[in-house]
Amino acid sequence: MEYAARGGETVLNRPMRLALVFVAALTLNACSREAAPGGTASAEGDGTAHPEIWPEYKYPVPVDPAVEAKIADLLKTMTLEEKIGQLVQADLCCVTPDDVRKYNLGSILVGGNSGPNGNDLSPAPDWLKAADGFYLASVDKSDGGVGIPVIWGTDAVHGHSNIIGATIFPHNIGLGAAHDPALIERIGAATAKEIRVTGQEWTFAPTVTVPQDYRWGRAYEGYSSDPKLVASYVGAMVRGLQGTPDETNLLAHDKVIASTKHFLADGGTKGGVDQGDAQISEEDLRDIHGLPYGPAIQNGVATVMVSFSSWQGKKLTGNKSLITGVLKDRMGFGGFVVSDWNAHGQVEGCTNNSCPQGLLAGLDMYMAPDSWKGVYEDLLKRAKAGEIPMERIDDAVARILRVKFRLGLFEAGKPSDRPLAGDWKVLGSPEHREISREAVRKSLVLLKNQGVLPLKAGARLLVAGDGADDIARASGGWTISWQGTGLTNAMFPGGTSLWAGLKQAAEAGGGSAVLSPDGSFTQKPDAAVVVFGEKPYAEFQGDRATLALDADLTGPYATMKKLKAQGIPVVAVMITGRPLYVNPALNAADAFVVAWLPGTEGGKGLADVLIGDAAGKPRFQFTGLLPAAWPKTPDMADGALYPFGYGLTYATPRAAWKALAEIDESSAGDARVYFTKGVPASSWSLVLGNIDRGEEKRITTVPADAIGGRAHITATDAAVQEGARRIVVSDGGAALAVSSHDPLNLSRETNGDVMVLFTVKVSKAPAKAALALRCDGSGCGSREPVTLPVTNSFVRYGLQLKCFAGKGADMSKVTAPFILETTGPADYALAEVRLGTDAEKVLPCN
Ligand code: BGC
Ligand code: BGC
């Protein structure tokens, strides 16, 4: 029990913590074990589960004979086309009400980047209007159909988080720190109400993942690394969203249906790779990742979303032993199973447009955002050919109808006629914001306090750091946009940035506050709060190679040191989706608070706890406890600095601070950057050769000549001195590549909107140019002709990875994600090559 010893006093002071630490020790043991005692458990199976070793539960939603009779009647009346339509869900990007009418689609969704009228940022009333439009089309029987009402799914994962003006609650990792299931239920109930205002019926939440590796870009979507803590929340969240299990006719009230995701072991993949492979034993699969599904089922969760990821090398979306054998038959799940965003296309032998394997494995509804028509036609064709048993189709349709009946969808009328619809004052209401503010207070974790906190009411404060006045930054991914990027404070009406919350509280207490991102001041403050940390990301875009804070975000460390050197007490406040190695900040600051991703009420909740009363007493206590262990090093090599369940309070006796070891972080890079500031990232090379790959030369030092003297390479300035490589080709064909010996699997990036981004300045445009991608094997690359005009400054171009895949490249073993091929004389400079979505100019894919 190395953990109990560390920070031991504070832990032992509190029985609650002791209990949690004990659980942590168990969990950590569980995760690190390769095989269960007795040697029966092995991580080396073929992805076939043994349902008999899984627990049995009772799905509590009462079977209503009247409803069952209606379902049976409908199944008799529906055509095969109508049945197949129910099994398909399309994204708003790519479907119209007319499509819903014609194909009888069972559901629509709004993905992270979609919105009504093609606009992610559409105002709330447009969502309700769109909901009416799709609903009315779905029930239109003028074409002679049965007219089954459609349901609309949305990622309301921390409040109704796609909508401008909604209350944004802390992301789940922060809620995990609050260890308060009753609070979780109130958050669920508030979220359900806000969803009802804009007319949707279904949220793809709660995420009940149990992350075991915080390099994973989705770790913040999970409450905790501890399965028991996660499980203790799930029932509460499901009840908050859906009501109690015996409740039906939910749309007559103020509820929506929930979806626990992502089944199963999305947080257990090797290396924390998003959409990766959980190479774990079936016992770990059950005891760590399966645990939260118990309370979900026992509380009647209506839907379960299957994970993109694999278990023992086999994609979950096609895994019959887990979906049908374990989830439905053994655990007794009585709702319907939905897949994830084109995840069926990743199943062995499938494509986005064809995957009967999903339905055969037990999937009931395909999330086929842009591929719905292909999936529909393919399923129909195969059903007609007898390749899919009719019983399976009827079972899937019946499960979907059962949920629709439970909602009361058939009697609910159009979305705008239902309770709460269009009641705009409920969206972001003061009551809901108050719950969020309470959640922020309870989620804050205090890691260090050398007597600076609470800040005195009446004090003169300086608020510094690059993240202080940025609500989007404090909200993280899955906020209004998919990645949570491209947003300004104006897009959070009613929200309060950390800076604004501190300022309001300081002034209310008779003090003052100034905002100064770089920490400079004219009048010496009594104390400084320096806000720093991660920037928003979602899914695989947040995957990292290590647990280091991205190097470009560590600037505020210097600000902390500078302020402290001037004799000013410093409070560091970290915005983050995960525990990270931040020893320099822990050393530099006098107090250190982890704020996680607190959302729109972050500023108010933070100020409640940080700023005391006039007598210098706290107004609110710190009660938050780490929902996952905090790393000592970026590679976690030396175990945890602070264990799961750790957190100081205002009552913790102060101990002398022992300086933490600081390591050289310059080696810990961002896995998605291949070439930066004119040099290749570690394990990458810059190579110049003929287009046919002859005469390739690795450019290690400059100046250099290549391809028989036809090309000359020098260093040139970009954002920083010598921040680019200039390539002058006198004539003929040339190919500049950024390549690696270790093939890179870019399949999951390709599945999204990720681009290869390259920053160039062209001084002489080549007669012809193309962007190519190379992979390991013969003939598995592809190329896209591009036009790169002369510009007088650097431009960050982007080409979607999908473009290469569409032209036949094998994205699972890429050796050169960037090759610029030119013909004729050319002169250009290359500063950076990386993956991302923030292109200044998107190149067309022809
Ligand atoms: C994510 C899901 C999400 C879905 C719809 C997927 O890419 O993995 O969590 O619910 O998109 O936006
Ligand atoms: C969508 C997300 C989805 C993701 C999957 C994005 O374009 O907006 O909802 O999760 O793609 O790759």
Q: Are 543 and 272 in contact (CB under 8 A)?
A: yes
Answer yes or no: are the C-beta atoms of 156 and 191 closer than 8 Å. yes
Q: pLDDT at position 27, please?
A: 38
Mean of the per-residue pLDDT values of the chain? 92
Q: CA 754 from chain center: how many Å?
A: 14
Q: Does the beta carbon of 341 lie inside 6 Å of ligand 2?
A: yes
Shortest-distance ligand to the CA of residue 540: 2
- DSSP label of 112: T
CATH number of 673-842: 2.60.120.430
Retrieve residue 604's tokens: 């108010």
Average pLDDT over residues 302-311: 98
**Which of 330, 396, 306, 398 lies closest to 360, judged by CA?**
396
Report the nearest atom of ligand 1 relative to the CA of 110.
12
For 438-625, which CATH class? alpha beta
Q: Which of 91, 194, 539, 590 is catalytic?
A: 539
SS3 118: helix
Which helix (H) or strand (E) segment is 305 a member of?
Answer: strand 303-306
Residue 742 banded pLDDT, cuts 50, 70, 90: confident
CA of 802 to the centre of ligand 2 (A): 13
- Does residue 45 carry a pLDDT above 90? yes
Identify which of 154, 204, 482, 537 to mutate to test ligand 2's pocket (most ligand atoms within 8 A of the CB): 482
* Strands (DSSP E) found in 416-459: 445-449
Residue 553 CA, distance from chain mean position: 19
Task: List, in order, residues 6 or more apart from 675 with CB less than 8 Å away.
Answer: 681, 684, 686, 738, 818, 830, 832, 833, 834
Q: What is the largest CA-CA distance in the chain?
A: 84
> How far is the C-alpha of 579 from the C-alpha of 128, rounded, in Å?
38
Show Cβ contacts of residue 532 under 8 Å, excluding neighbours closer than 6 positions: 465, 466, 467, 553, 554, 555, 556, 557, 572, 573, 574, 575, 585
Q: Is 477 in the pocket of ligand 2 (CB under 6 A)?
A: no
CATH superfamily name and code, 51-425: Glycoside hydrolase, family 3, N-terminal domain (3.20.20.300)
Give residues (CB < 6 A) around ligand 1.
Answer: 109, 111-112, 155, 204, 261, 340-341, 539
pLDDT digits (tens, 9 = 90+) for 135-191: 999 999 998 889 999 999 999 999 999 999 999 999 999 999 999 999 999 999 999
Catalytic residue among 221, 283, 340, 438: 340
**Tens digits of per-residue pLDDT, 338-387?**
999 999 999 999 999 999 999 999 999 999 999 999 999 999 999 999 99
Spacing, Cα 305 to ligand 1 middle (Å)? 9
3-state DSSP helix/strand/coil % of the chain, to nearest 5: 35, 20, 45
Active site residue 539: yes
The count of C-alpha atoms lying within 13 angstroms of the C-alpha of 224, restricted to the half-sphere facing its C-beta, is 32
Please say if the pLDDT value at position 405 is more than 50: yes
Work out which ligand 1 atom sits closest to the CA atom of 204: 10
Instruction: Kindly tell me the number of DSSP H helices and DSSP E strands found in the chain.
Output: 24, 34
pLDDT band per the 50, 70, 90 thresholds, residue 40: low
Strand order, beta sheet including 303-306 = 259-263, 303-306, 336-338
Burial class (CB in 10 A: 0-12, 13-18, 19+), 63: exposed
Tell me the pLDDT band of 696, cut-offs 50, 70 and 90: confident
- C-alpha 318/C-alpha 322 separation (Å) is 9
Burial class of residue 182 (count of CB atoms within 10 Å of its CB; 0-12, 13-18, 19+)? exposed
- 792 CA to middle of ligand 1, Å? 40
Instruction: Assign 3-class secondary structure to 160-217.
Output: CCCCCCCCCCCCHHHHHHHCCHHHHHHHHHHHHHHHHHCCCCEECCCECCCCCCCCCC
Q: Where are the domains of the chain?
A: 51-425, 438-625, 673-842
pLDDT tens-digit readout, 203-222: 999 999 999 999 999 999 99
Nearest-CA residue for ligand 2 atom 12 is 752
pLDDT at 665: 62
Alpha-carbon 560 to chain mean position: 30
The Å distance, Cα 108 to ligand 2 centre, comes to 14
